[in-house]
Amino acid sequence: MNQITKSELAKRIDHSKLRPNYTRQEIEKGCEEALAFGCAAMCVNPSMVEVAAKKLAGSGILVNSVVGFPFGATLPEIKAAEAGKVITLGAGEIDMVINIASAVEGDWDHVRKDIAAVVEAAADVPVKTIFETCHLNDEQIASACRAATEAGAAYVKTSTGFSDLGATIHDIMLMRKSAGPNVKIKAAGGINYYEDAVALINAGADRIGVSRTAQILSGAP
């Protein structure tokens, strides 16, 4: 897939509005943008899930809530409770940040339990696991993919977009190789142009998390 049309690319995009200073009005505007573009999902903070759910009701566009965001340092039971709550408010997908320190230390039992707690709380709602790959080496990224697969995650995801670096071709290829065959890949962080998005999809990404959706789609054929 060397090129992707605007509509095809939009269907792979999670339109993200995650800055802590975004108001309700700005989230509603973001939902209107997601509707106009035909995105897969609208990604918001937990406090804005209900706002987005009302705006997108009946549209087919999912509300994607982050959990344990952006550091992943919250206790597993708190992440699980947060996931359960946002689902009752209308979230149709969960993007959770794993315990990054546990991954760095190689405590994969804790990483699995952390993810599994959210997967259990989410029930049938897909869970994406954010690794913040800029803090991990290749071996740790591969191990995190295996842990997420074993814990029942639907996706593995590169980044929050709030740390040092975002998605890279190398990391996407490594994640595709290391995750289970039924686990999908989400690239996020530092994706600014159409060419960036296409390169990541060609490397194996199924979904793209971006805030510069209009800019990216403007470069599509």
pLDDT of the residue at 193? 96
Statement: residue 34 has pLDDT above 70: yes
Task: Give the list of residues 6+ apart from residue 186 with CB closer than 8 angstroms, or none.
Answer: 14, 95, 128, 155, 156, 157, 158, 205, 206, 207, 208, 209
CA distance 20 to 123: 28
pLDDT at position 4 over 90: yes
First-residue to last-residue Cα distance in the chain: 13
Q: What pLDDT, in 10s, does the model give residues 121-160?
A: 999 999 999 999 999 999 999 999 999 999 999 999 999 9
Percent helix, strand and coil across the chain, each to the nearest 5: 50, 15, 35
Task: Region of 75 please: left (phi>0), alpha (psi -120 to 50) or beta.
Answer: beta
Residue 1 binned pLDDT confidence (cut-offs 50, 70, 90): low
What is the domain partition of the chain in residue ranges? 6-218
pLDDT on residue 169: 98
CATH of 6-218, one of 3.20.20.70, 3.40.50.720, 3.30.56.10, 2.60.120.200: 3.20.20.70
pLDDT in tens, 166-220: 999 999 999 999 999 999 999 999 999 999 999 999 999 999 999 999 999 999 9
Contact between residue 12 and residue 201 where contact means Cβ atoms under 8 Å apart: yes
| pLDDT per residue as tens digits for the range 42-87 | 999 999 999 999 999 999 999 999 999 999 999 999 999 999 999 9
Percentage, residues of the chain above pLDDT 70 = 100
Predicted pLDDT of residue 3: 84
- Residues marked active site are found at 95, 157, 186
Q: Could you give the CA distance from residue 163 to residue 78 in angstroms, rounded to a whole number?
A: 22
C-alpha torsion 206→7→53→162, nearest 10: 50
pLDDT at 221: 85
Could you tell me the pTM of the whole model? 0.96
For residues 93-112, average pLDDT: 98
